[in-house]
Structure 1
Amino acid sequence: MKRVLFVLGQLNDLDIDWMIRQGAKKNLHAGNWLIRQGHEIDSLYIVLTGEFEVVNDQKPAHPIAIVGAGEVLGEMSFIDARPPEASVKAMEDSTVFCVPKQVIREKMEQNPGFAARFYLAMSMFLSSRLRTTMNSLGFGVPQDDADEIDLNVLHQVGQAGARFNQIIHKFSTV
């Protein structure tokens, strides 16, 4: 759940309102693919409910990760504009919030402040994911400390959690 807090904690209330207006809810049944390795994707996703398995198509028996509510998906392809390096499949009936990448890019061109906040959020998010990966490979901080939230981010967690709940509330009735 903490991954989305990096994103929502850096954006302001106007940014979140804009994202909610531009985004949509997407429901997936268990077994449906959200992202396919090597295939372009057109949105950035936030998992609202459910659970997803992240796999490399060459080694599908060895999942890379299991992700649930509050995780962000499609961020690497957003940043570097390359096709995804992994596939993502719903393990149970699930719901994601999706915002088209092109709409986000247009907003960044029109609003440099939004662009700066968004890229800072993505940087913090990807840094956290890399640290977690390094820890899981046995490098760095002992595993007990690997899931700690950085003190620089801690003060924004409450507000970010409220923003995530705002997104869930908006799309729970749609």
Structure 2
Amino acid sequence: MKKALYILAEISDRDFEWILSVGRSKRVTAGTTLIYEGEPIDAIYIVLEGTLAVCVESLGGEEVARLGHGEVVGEMSFVDARRPSATVKAVEDSLVFTIPRSQLAAKLAQDLSFSSHFYQALAIFLSDRLRSTVSRLGYPKETFAAPPPQPSSEDENHYLEDSLRLAEARLDWMLNRLKGR
């Protein structure tokens, strides 16, 4: 699932408008580095178009992931205030939405509702990323297998589907709005 959808599904319309008002679009041409491993960053990014490569210097600059439309970049450094653990560069001409760290931090400190929804979404998608990484490393499935699905009501399924549709619509709307600037 696109990682930005977790955030966009959790926040209110008012908070979505706030993100749009403080964020900016940024074109990243193919071959350009967006984030340098070990160097501080001042924003988190949502990939709106294009493809970014995630490379790790300790692995000889090996590419460990590719990120595309709807992925979030820089969230780990935002959460733990440490320098990035990887370099992120554009594989092709890309468009990212930049949310300044200082403004996001201030909003999270002042708005408890936004903060709880934002951090819940981050926790969910970081957990999802860790599970994917663990499964790619080849650990036995039974060691890290997800718990058996819990029976859920039809109402819960509809709520989840509605939330994801809203998040997709918000992501598409963001892209269309930025193209119109």
* TM-score (norm. length: structure 1): 0.89
- Report whether the alignment pairs 1:157 with 2:164: yes
Instruction: Give ranges in structure 2 of 5+ residues lacking alignment.
Output: 147-156
1:58 CA drift (Å): 3.1
Question: Structure 1, residues 140-162: CA drift from partner, whole Å, max 9, x if none?
Answer: 659xxx9xxx9985442111101
Residue 166 of structure 1 deviates from its aligned partner by 1.5
Give the superposition deviation at 1:139: 3.0
Measure the CA separation in 1 of the matches of 2:52 and 2:15.
27
Whether 1:76 aligns to 2:87 is no
Instruction: Indicate conservation of the 8 Å contact 1:134/1:140, yes or no.
Output: no
Kindly indicate whether the alpha-carbon contact (under 8 Å) linking 2:2 and 2:69 is maintained by their aligned counterparts in 1. no
Where in structure 2 are the equivalents of 1:6-155 lying within 5 Å?
A: 6-139=6-139, 153-155=160-162
Q: What is the deviation of 1:62? A: 2.3
TM-aligned CA distance change 1:139 to 1:12, over 3 Å: farther
Deviation at 1:172, TM superposition (A): 1.1
Give CA-to-partner distance per residue, 1:70-112, whole Å, 9 cap, x none. Answer: 1000000000000000000001110100100110111112111
Q: Which runs of 4+ in 1 moved over 6 A?
A: none
Alignment-mate amino acid for residue 100 of structure 1: P
CA distance in 1 between partners of 2:30 and 2:83 (Å): 23
Inter-partner Cα distance in structure 2 for 1:152 and 1:87? 37
- Equivalent residues of 2:7, 2:121 under 8 A apart: yes
Aligned residues, how many? 169
Moved more, 105-114 or 57-66: 57-66
Q: Is residue 173 from structure 1 mapped to residue 180 from structure 2 by the alignment?
A: yes
Provide the secondary structure at the position in 1 that maps to 2:92.
Answer: coil
RMSD: 2.2
Question: What TM-score does the superposition give when structure 2 sets the normalisation length?
Answer: 0.86
For 1:151 and 1:100, locate their aligned partners in 2 and report how far apart those are by CA, in whole Å: 34
Partner letter of residue 156 of structure 1? S
Return the index of the structure with the highest Cα Rg: 2
Q: Give the share of equivalent positions with the same residue, in percent.
A: 39
Structure 1: 5+ residue stretches without partners: none
